[in-house]
Structure formats: C-alpha cells, structure tokens
Amino acid sequence: MKNPLKEKLRSGRSVIGTFVGLGHPDVTEMLSRLGFDWILIDGEHGPMGFETMQVMMQSMNGSDCVPIIRPQWNDPVIIKRVLDIGAYGVLLPWINSRKEAENAVKACMYPPKGIRGWGPRRAGLFDKDYFATANDEILIAIQVETQQALDNLDEILSVEEVDACYIGPYDLSNNLGFGIPPKWNEPKYLEAIDRVLEAAEDAGKSAGIFASLENIRWALDKGFKFNTVDDADTFLLRGARMALERAKESRTSSDPPQI
C-alpha cells in the first residue's frame, strides 16, 4: 500500500480535499478527477452505508485522489470495516483524550501495534504488500471539536501514530459556547484555533480545518495544511442557484438572448 496523501503531509505540503455526503458513486467519480488531493466520504453525518461507501471509492479508481472516510464514531468495529472496504485512512470525530486517540490507533493497526483483525476484502484485493505496509500507510486524523480536546491536545498529539488533527469549526464553536454558525470575529474562538495550530506545530503534525470558499485563503495563510473546502451539497446548490438566477435575469431582460 502506498498513500500519496500521507506522503504529501509528511513532506510538509498542504493538501486540499472536499466533503462528500451525497451517497452516489457519480459524485466521487467526478470530483476525484478535478484535482483534489483527497475526498472525505462522510459516514458520520451522511446517510451512506458500507456498500455505498465502497462503490463511491471504487468510482475513484484511476484518479490521483485519495479516499478517506469519516466513520460514525471512534469504534473499532466501524473503523475495521471502512478500512477493509478500501479507505486509505480515517478522520475520527470527537477525540477528546489521549486514551481515545490511542484506541483509535489500535483500531487502525494490525497486531502487534493494534487490534485490527485480518480481512481486508477490497483493500488487499490487488495489493500483495498490504499487510506489510498498511500500519505505516493508513492515515489517522483526529477531529478537535470541544474544550476538552483543546485542553488535552498536547497529550492527544503526542500519540506517535496520529498523523493530523482537524478542526470541526461548527462543533468547536458550539461547544465553546459561541453557537452556530461560528463567530469568526470572536477573539476567544480565534485563540482556540491558534491553539490547535501551535499544538500541531509543536508535535510535528499537520493541522487542518473545514473551510469554505470564503475562508480557504485565510486557512492556508494561517498555516493549515490538511484542509477541505466546502462539500458536494454546497457545490450542487451554489451552481444550481447561479444558473437559476441567471435564467431569471435573462427571462426578464429586454436584451437579446446570448448564445
């Protein structure tokens, strides 16, 4: 197994991905050919089951885009299944302590480092070296979403096998008492974001954030490297809204149609 996303992060490069919660392989097939470094298939809030997530990753075959799954929870049974169907890594929600990070690592790794059982159905189907390389190549990223996670972040990131941390800005804002949507001009909220960047730098890990079209430049300038920008739902709605607005303007315009 060779994970180009993990290699880019190891070398200090910034990567750009996007979220997909629309459960159809056509979505990941199209987006994976645009130039994203990675696609995050969202099993936490998205409605997809394991079968759907598998075909969504299969549709990415032949692209340079890496499939990562966000499982419903930091659960070894769920993590084992998403890795066995071919995910190159996991983004794990609600990691609040070193112990939880250690448990996540164990769930991702084969013995003696972990407890992952052998049975990589699709992941090992065409890879004779999967067992020998998986422990090193699976990307393990944890989400920072609470005050507890901020308080324990140095200990969480001291877990050697954790590769990256990622801010869920909405949950973090809500759990800090600032509500939803995040108040990006709230000094204490921005201090929390800076805290994540500093802790990641001290630990030699990559930090990322769920960014939008409006603040992705800000995120990159801040030093975030493991980023996503918007999501498939937003792309669909934004494009449809633009087309509809243009059509309505054209319908009421006295100008001749533009062909």
CB 69 within 8 A of CB 43: yes
Q: Which two tokens stand for residue 85?
A: 């169907």
Q: Which of 2, 10, 33, 45 is catalytic?
A: 45
104 contacts: CB under 8 Å, gap ≥ 6: 74, 79, 90, 92, 95, 140, 142, 162
| 24 catalytic per annotation | no
Would you please indicate which residues are annotated as catalytic (active-site) residues?
45
